[in-house]
Amino acid sequence: MARRAKSQRGAEQRGGERGVESRLLHLLQANRRWRDPELEPRNLSPWLLPLQRWQAARLTESFADFSAAPDTAAATDFFLSDLYGDHDVSARDRGVEKVMPMMRRLLPDELLHTVADAIELAVLSHAFDLRVAQALETLLPTDAELDAATYGKAYRMAGLPRLRHRQIALIATIGMALDAAVRKPWLARVLRMSRLPARAAGLLDLQSFLERGFAAFAGMQDAQGFMQEIARREGEVSRRLFAADPQPFRRVRKSRAAQANSRSR
């Protein structure tokens, strides 16, 4: 019976390993398809890069208070540059696909699931950018300047509110996972030990992504509250955009109950 239980646990562990590996491969293939101009011509839209720059500037303005606070500045920079901004993650994700067997040996499942979430976020964000850029082509000439009202129209034309909700939820999930990881000293040691093998295996971009995430969340007093507030603000912005609110990006204030709960932590 003991041998049977041990065998079952081993099978479950192998099943979990295959699960995260299968998810990673599926997401990497999707990411490659969405970014290939031959398979997805909207990548050639004249509005794609201006849209991404506009969104990055909007996010920087929306979270300027976090950027200015010493406790959240590093995590905000990671959020804006690596998770939700206009940073090109294709080199990072190509590296993952090339050396999947090596990555399985180098990184524990906790980090692999976080990598998978980050790639899913990249896929969703780019797919939405393509849809919004396509909508902008019908709304504005290419030499026009993008403003909040026209962005809102294009956002609604792109649609898919449930996937927008998933996009925002992934940001919080990744942040929470990184915060949990930095509180496990053995994971930090594993990440440091994998630096040279990762470089040799062609995983330097992925390694750098994880190290930036660890550094951003190390020492934060309330990472959970930080990520919840980002998700809350972006969720409210999305709700306003779908509702055609004339001022969708005005500061989203916490309720009194939420403020009291934040102070009590």
Over residues 149-197, the pLDDT tens digits come to: 999 999 999 999 999 999 999 999 999 998 888 888 888 888 888 777 7
pLDDT at 96: 62
pLDDT at 94: 60
pLDDT at 163: 96
> Whole-model pTM?
0.82
pLDDT at 181: 87
Mean pLDDT over 201-222 rounds to: 82
**What are the start-end ranges of the H helices in the chain?**
2-35, 48-62, 64-68, 73-78, 90-98, 100-106, 109-139, 148-158, 161-182, 185-193, 195-201, 204-217, 223-242, 256-264
